[in-house]
Amino acid sequence: MKIRFPPEWGINPVPIEAKTLRFIDYLVLWSSLGVGLLVFLAGSLLYPSLSMLEVLIVSLIGSIIGSFLLASAGVIGSRYGVPTMVSLRAILGIKGSYFPTFLNIIQLIGWTGFEFIIMSKAATSIFGDFLGELTEPLWILIFALFCTLLALGGPIAVIRQWLEKAAIWLIYASTIWITIQIFSKPKALTNFLTPGLGGLPIPLALDLVIAMPISWWPLISDYNRFAKKDRDAFIGTAIGYTIANTWFYFLGAAIIAFTGITDIISSISILFLGTLALTLILVDETDNAFADIYSAAVSLQNLFPKIKQRKLILIVVAISVILALTTPLTRYESFLLMIGALFTPLLGVLFSDFFILRNGKYKNEEFYNKGKTINVKALISWFLGALIYFILVNFYPWIGASLPSFFATIIFNLCFSKLKKED
């Protein structure tokens, strides 16, 4: 019996009849992608430097800002039906889009490796170290296989058959249970009001929160291109991710604060029925790895459009498994900041070009053979914005880096666009 794979749109625009996803679909998708063990881990980085009240405020503000920018980046995809890296062809030029594409592939393979590692650690914590040193590698292979099947199924099947019918309800139930368990503790109010120890400037903490939704924007049009209406995709993405990111960043810090255990997986496990809650979170965590794998393959098609998507999916998974088996889960904070440094300014280029210079209008041929080869001005704007981000993070962390570099890049791109056009 021949296996039937779902349609592969590749770098071509999604036809109107295939643009079927609605507001509720995007609310479910992005609220699901906004939660997970890695988001818990990122939230734990905010405590004890900040008080829990400060963590809540920073998580909310950072999530609103980051989710708005994330949803804005997806408008091109929902309007023109093209994946993210292809949409950058109209902005950076066809060959110019290859630079962020290459970086995005590296980012996504890294995220996939991180997902496999933390899922294997969680599964080992739940089911025990039954094979000794081989337990975690076995779980890595199991999760890699399952996530590969999801990626081969494609976004529409994953959203409507996996997330909406099962996974999202499991994660909602487990998150509510963890929240109740933490805040029912006698010292919950006291811990909430205890001042932070300092050491992490609030602007830098804000960067850590914004970095999470920003890390998704190079992927967003890979999914929002299936939207029936631009507005549905925008609002569903913004609301879904804001709620989920705020909730999980705050819970990540709260679990550490109220249990006194710094290991995020162990801290969940000691709660009443915590192992069950952790199991449900683990089930939903697979959609994050799915998105990384699928979008890495779609991004690769921007470079190699003639190669079948399913073949690229298998290549991405194989490399990610090797990474997971050989790389420790360390320097996670630096990894998040690096993503912010590279992709926040690039979002400034996209925002200024699409919403300001072009008033939201491109010609379809600009995404393909009749598009400009390379837009040097836009690439220089991106480089200068990334340079500003690195400088602020390393030398002036109390200023913050995400928003200054974002707006600086917008200004650079607008100014360069006024210069005389190249011959």
Could you list the pLDDT tens digit for every one of the 423 residues in the chain?
455 667 778 888 999 999 999 999 999 999 999 988 778 888 888 988 899 899 999 999 999 999 999 999 999 999 999 999 999 999 999 999 999 999 999 889 988 988 899 899 889 988 888 888 899 999 999 999 999 999 999 999 999 999 999 889 988 888 898 888 888 877 666 777 788 888 888 888 998 899 889 889 999 999 999 999 999 999 999 999 999 999 999 998 988 888 777 777 777 877 777 788 888 888 888 999 999 999 999 999 999 999 999 999 999 999 999 989 987 756 555 665 577 678 999 999 999 999 999 999 999 889 987 778 999 999 999 999 999 998 988 888 888 888 899 999 999 999 999 886 543
**pLDDT value, residue 421:** 55
> Can you say whether the dihedral through the CA atoms of 249, 398, 394, 383 is positive or negative?
positive
CB 177 within 8 A of CB 358: no
Using CA atoms, how far residue 178 sits from 40, 169, 181, 258, 411, in Å, is: 12, 14, 5, 12, 44
The count of C-alpha atoms lying within 13 angstroms of the C-alpha of 145, restricted to the half-sphere facing its C-beta, is 6
Where do the domains of the chain lie? 16-331
CB 213 within 8 A of CB 34: yes
In 3D space, the residue among 87, 110, 40, 48 whose CA is nearest the CA of residue 367 turns out to be 87
Check residue 164 and report its DSSP letter. I
DSSP 337-372: HHHHHHHHHHHHHHHIIIIIISTT---GGGGTTTS-
CB 322 within 8 A of CB 140: no
**pLDDT value, residue 331:** 58
3-state secondary structure of 27: helix
CB 133 within 8 A of CB 157: no
3-state secondary structure of 81: coil
**Structure tokens, 87:** 């949409």
The count of C-alpha atoms lying within 13 angstroms of the C-alpha of 396, restricted to the half-sphere facing its C-beta, is 11
Domain spanning 16-331, CATH class? mainly alpha
- Phi/psi region, residue 257 (left: phi>0; alpha: psi -120 to 50; beta: rest), is alpha
**pLDDT value, residue 93:** 95
